[in-house]
Amino acid sequence: MSPHSDLNAFWMPFTANRQFKSAPRLLERAEGMFYWDAEGKEILDSTAGLWCVNAGHCRSEISDAITAQTRKMDFAPTFQMGHSLPFLFANRLIKYTPKGLDHVFFTNSGSESADTALKMALAYHFVRGEPQRTLLIGREKAYHGVGFGGISVGGLPNNRRAFGNLLTVDHLPHTLDQERNRFSQGLPLYGVEKADALGELIHKHGAEHIAAVIVEPVAGSAGVIVPPAGYLQRLRDICTEHGILLIFDEVITGFGRLGTPFAADYFGVTPDIMTTAKGLTNAAVPMGAVFSSDTVHDAFMSGPAEQIEFFHGYTYSGHPLACAAGLAALDIYEKEDLLHRGSLIAPSFAEMIHSLRDLPHVADIRNLGLMAAIELEPKAGEPGARGYEVLLKSLELGLLVRATGDTIALSPPLIIEISHLDRLFQTLREVLRTIS
């Protein structure tokens, strides 16, 4: 396949296009825990695609449900009309959400979920008579998708460098404290006081101007940054005290990644709004969902019954095929108890990944549930080169990992078995012993 004629038309996302197209890495088939490349080589998927294929690849239950729905009804509008599937799906979903998060607004991606949640927060204060609450608080090193709202509250400078900030925002410090927490297993012991930075921002801006705080319970794209014990609860307490909405971005942590349905369950902290996507449909059809509290939802339900309460939505909100995929995925999660299975595998996962700590160039290892990161010492003057080398050498040996700069992130499908873990970490050990 010629990189100039056959590959050039597709402008790839978050990719060094010229580098990739000079030596493409093409996946052609998937099933269960594995991909196969164009040459037929089997590749163990340690990333659940892109944090999203929680039940494993190409589940026939999901594909059959999608196919059946295409024959029945391919599309129906949800603007001033409706069809049964999003109502059914929403009612199934809220059986698993923390108590009080009983309303679902469907989107098409994590990015749309983040922007929807931010608009929901701003509009909530507006309808309650506090329109001055326009400041949104994000966190350094955070990723909330690529919408203009998400990149504004996000804490990855490269994601907004060329676009600027279009919202009124400020940022909490990140919680990565490698001086005190290096090689922590599970929740780090130190750093809960970093939540007090929210109090400093309240003093700086005035609580009456702050609409919401948005955080990932565990920061994924920045390299699996696990919050210190007690940190999220302290954020919750400060937000409650000052009438500020707390938003959890659970696009990655939702649907079993930590061994509980949501990270909110794992930490015992309930936000006012929660964003999801990825595992919602096992990634078979793009879809996202924003869960809101009764308090947030009910604030909009006033005024004349014939008026639109929330001027926001997408053509494909509650799309029939996406709902069919989501319902089938939820059936699998329930039948195989995948929303809790990670808690059984996590101890072995943690033991195996931390066994790599003494290998060359390993600077830190972080883990929680079935997500983990190996941070490598960067090559002098070549940031990201060592991570890219691990990506390529792992692929050569039949293992797909995710390289974010010099951090290797792992988030395997929740169906992973101990035999897969053995293969995964045996391969990683071999790669890390040989990188330059």
What are the residue boundaries of the structural domains of the chain, listed by start?
A: 17-55+338-434, 63-335
pLDDT digits (tens, 9 = 90+) for 402-429: 999 999 999 999 999 999 999 999 999 9
pLDDT at 5 over 80: no
One-letter amino acid for residue 120 of the chain: M
What is the C-alpha separation between 291 and 319, in angstroms, rounded? Answer: 17
Going by pLDDT thresholds of 50, 70 and 90, the confidence category of residue 3 is very low
Distances (CA, A) of 187 to 195, 349, 364: 15, 15, 14
Residue 68 near residue 324, CB atoms below 8 Å: yes
The tally of CA atoms less than 13 A away on the side-chain side of residue 68 is 11
Tokens in use for 32?
A: 């269960």
Residue 398 near residue 41, CB atoms below 8 Å: yes
What is the C-alpha separation between 47 and 292, in angstroms, rounded? Answer: 29
What is the rounded average pLDDT of the residues 254-279?
98
What is the C-alpha separation between 407 and 388, in angstroms, rounded? Answer: 9
What is the C-alpha separation between 106 and 92, in angstroms, rounded? Answer: 14
Distances (CA, A) of 119 to 30, 211, 236, 247, 342: 37, 10, 20, 12, 33
Fold category of 63-335 in CATH? Aspartate Aminotransferase; domain 2 (3.40.640)
Average pLDDT value over all residues in the chain: 97
pLDDT digits (tens, 9 = 90+) for 151-201: 999 999 999 989 987 899 999 999 999 999 999 999 999 999 999 999 999
Q: How many CB atoms lie under 10 A from the CB of residue 324?
A: 25
What is the C-alpha separation between 118 and 123, in angstroms, rounded? Answer: 9
CATH 3.30.413.10 matches 17-55+338-434: no
**Residues paired with residue 289 on neighbouring β-strands, in sequence order:** 106, 276
